[in-house]
A and B are shown apart, each in its own frame.
Chain A
Amino acid sequence: MGRVLDEGTSPPKERVDLLIGGEVVGLICHESSGHPGEADRILGREAAQAGESYLSIDSIGMEVGSPLVNVVDDPTLPGSYGFYLNDEEGVRARRRRLIKEGRICEFLHNRETGATAGTKSNGASRATAYNREPIVRMANTYLEPGDMSFEELIEDIGKGVYMRNFTEWNIDDRRFNQRYIGFEAYGIVNGELSTPIRNPTIEMTTVGLYRAIDAVGDDLRFWGANCGKGDPMQGVPVWTGGPTIRLRDVNLGGA
């Protein structure tokens, strides 16, 4: 942090290639893939509080990202922060593929939303206590890894920015307009990391961001988080995860 404060320079104004570290990628998947994929939001049940979704119930198959984008929510990962084997409605938990090869594949359902949507619950009903309403929640949401090393991701970038992690973020209630502020970040010059960059900002639409992904790293990692939803608020433990990803020729935002 000292280096960022002492040596950090302003983010570039021109278009650059962008490497986003797994901690940010995990948050992106949680906020703009997991939340808009919650069927109670899609059906309007959270409209006045947590909000709705840019997706509709018939968006299955809709192309929202490049073919490299595969987002999963899986409560059954052993040892994970969002681990459970049966949800709060007694439904067996299983892995859910939210986005498969860039297309919406599956939503998160409890029994009520599953029945309303003409399908079944996929075990996404969670509550924080015996006296709280079970609602549709994520568990461990992540971008599946690709096969490129970090060195391969960076080697042909002439001018770019690497945002390793973040300070803060926000996103609209339809989960379409999102913003992430970089914390530890560096410039990239001719395939190598250079000086620290202070607070680069990703401010992009969900489909704009996912469609710009042109490479996915093999360095998948997970981070613990507490996801807030419901009224009264219910914070549930989750993992967010991802590998490093690369976006080509994009503008940073936040000006």
Chain B
Amino acid sequence: MDGRPYHQVEGREFRGCVEMDDPEVALMALRLAKGSGATDAISIVRTTDWRMMRFSNNGVTASKATRETSLTIFMEIGRGRTSLRTTDLSRGSIEGLVRNASNMAKASSEGYAPLPEGPFKYRRELASVGDARLMSEKLPDAVKVAIEAAIAEGAQRVAGSLIAERASKVIRTTGGAKGTHASTSYDLSVRAFADPEATGQFAQVVTRFRDLDPEHVGRRAGEIAKKSKNPKPAEPGRFDAVLGPMTVADLMEEVALASSAYNVEAGLSFLTDGLGKKVAAAPLGIDDDPTDEHAPGSVPFDDEGLPTFEKPIIEDGTLKTYLHNSLTAKKMGVKSTANAGLVRPTAYTLKIRAGDKSVEDLVSMVDDGIYITNNWYLRYQNIRNGDFSTILRDGLFKIEDGEIAGPIRGLRLSDNMLRLLGNIHAVGAERHWIKWWEVDIPTLAPAMLINRVNFTSPTL
């Protein structure tokens, strides 16, 4: 390995003179909030140990480590509410945080919704997800394996990152919620270059280090890169397209974001007015499942202390629910889905339901089309109706007569979310856990065949 590693290590956060553990900090903050007039209050203490190894040009270029503890205080006073956060856990800082939160809550008029009333019982198996400790010492070897696997498949240069994180969360609420949760996760992303324009990328996220397969991720990135050499300029137009799991994960995350009731209420969702209606073709099913003890993102309670549960967002193409916290649920006259987000409800872990086709089957169903392995920079022209475009990058291939005909380049997927969802024709059987630069929510994603996808290219 060459390159000049950049090493960065951070110390523990400033706690002043106060020697309290995280549950004690949470309890003290909650008592201060109640004492300052809060009708309802939440105190959450999060501690995150985070390690990253970044690599490029076949060598490690940066090794980073951070450890941070933060306190989030949420207060409702009358119809006002606010949420503030600090990483300074000294008593004076916490008192100041509560004082500021109290003043801001009194000045706001967002609306009141009582917090869920406990006490609650949480799934014991979710109290600790993943490894008992962070397997930091194993990261360099995993990076080495990923790089060598990509090179063995034909890559000349390999880049990427391996992020390891151990996160703990303690919650106390005036509703009687009292919970603790800890988890580990390992995110590996590998990008291989067979030449400057022939690239391939793949990613994996797991909760236990032993489940990480750097050899597979590196090999897959290398394979795609090798097959991408000497790409031909592509013609724009409407084509049937097979989307690999990286792109499916990105698009389905957009669906999950659009299903947040906060985004619906704010006019930032293409799923507005879609509840109970067909918003996608029948093959599509998306579940938010934070209860799978082996799944990245799983958590026993939401940020209001409500026990989480598995729920379909889209089932057989029908939008089954928006994602709610207490306030959005009250406004829409339904129950919370335990997806708080104190401000914006959000999905924790997405599982796209598998179909019964292999990728080869999906490709064989296309006479004249395109196989997409990755994308980035998805932006909306109109987020309310779903008009968007995204850059297609890494391996991009022409499909002719049911077979991969060769690599192409220079296309942008420029279409509409609802039209794409409605044109889903078939779903792959094999699924992969994806989380990387473009995908924040861990997503178990298969490949998909979508009919008549619109592609554009530069005019000059």
Contact = CB atoms under 8 A, between A and B. Distances in A.
Interface stretch (B19-27, B187-195, B424-432): B187-195
B236 interface: yes
B157 A133 contact: no
A133 B381 contact: no
Contacts of B189: 48
Given A131-B66, A177-B412, A231-B54, A204 B10 contact: no
9 contacts: A52-B196, A131-B8, A133-B6, A204-B459, A204-B460, A205-B460, A231-B54, A253-B456, A255-B456
B237 to A, nearest CB: 9
Interface string B323-337: 000000000000000
Contact of A49 (B10, B161, B389, B457): B161
A171 B437 CA distance: 16
A45 B56 contact: yes
Given A48-B161, A204-B460, A177 B391 contact: yes
B180 interface: no
B62 A133 contact: yes
B52 interface: yes
Main DSSP-derived SS at the A contact region: loop
Given A49-B437, A208-B458, A251-B460, A170 B391 contact: yes
A209 B52 contact: no
Interface string A168-208: 11111110011101000000000000000001000111001
Interface in B376-416: 376-382, 389-391, 393, 410, 412, 414
A63 interface: no
A203 B458 contact: yes
What's the dominant secondary structure at chain B's contact region?
strand
A231 B410 contact: no
A73 interface: no
B210 interface: no
Contact of B159 (A44, A167, A168, A212): A44
B201 interface: yes
B412 A203 contact: yes
Interface string B409-453: 010101000000000000000000000010000000000000000
B391 A172 contact: yes
Contacts of A203: 412, 456-459
6 tightest Cβ-Cβ pairs between the two chains A and B: A208-B460, A47-B159, A251-B459, A48-B159, A170-B377, A48-B191
Interface in B95-140: none
A174 B191 CA distance: 14
A227 B391 CA distance: 19
B377 A171 contact: yes
A212 B460 contact: yes
A179 B458 CA distance: 8
A24 interface: no
B432 to A, nearest CB: 17
A178 B160 CA distance: 24
Contacts of B190: 48
A252 interface: yes
B165 to A, nearest CB: 11
Contact of B459 (A48, A167, A169, A252): A252
Tell which of A112, A171, A179, A252 has the most Cβ of chain B within 10 Å. A179
A52 to B, nearest CB: 7
A250 interface: yes
Contacts of A204: 458-460
A254 interface: yes
Nearest to A212: B460
Interface in A3-46: 43-46
Contacts of B159: 44, 47-48
B391 A45 contact: no
Contacts of B8: 131, 133
A167 B410 CA distance: 22
B33 to A, nearest CB: 28
Interface size of A as a range: 35 or more
Which of A43, A172, A251 gathers the greatest number of chain B CB atoms within 10 Å?
Answer: A172
Contacts of B457: 177, 203, 253
B39 interface: no
Nearest to A205: B458
A171 B377 CA distance: 7
A85 to B, nearest CB: 24
A81 to B, nearest CB: 22
A199 B389 CA distance: 13
Contacts of B460: 204-205, 208-209, 212, 250-251
A234 B460 CA distance: 33
A38 to B, nearest CB: 14
Contact of B391 (A167, A173, A209, A251): A173
Interface string B55-81: 111000110101000000000000000
Given A47-B56, A48-B189, A231-B54, A168 B393 contact: no
A178 B457 CA distance: 9
A56 to B, nearest CB: 8
B379 A169 contact: yes
A174 B57 CA distance: 16
Given A47-B159, A131-B10, A172-B393, A250 B381 contact: no
Contacts of A255: 236, 456
B393 A173 contact: yes
Interface in A207-255: 208-209, 212, 231, 250-255
Contacts of A250: 459-460
Interface string A39-71: 000011111110010000000000000000000
Contact of B193 (A45, A47, A133): A47
Contacts of B236: 255
A86 to B, nearest CB: 20
A48 B199 CA distance: 10
A112 B378 CA distance: 32
Given A172-B393, A173-B377, 6 more contacts: A47-B157, A48-B437, A52-B196, A205-B458, A251-B460, A253-B459
A250 B460 CA distance: 7
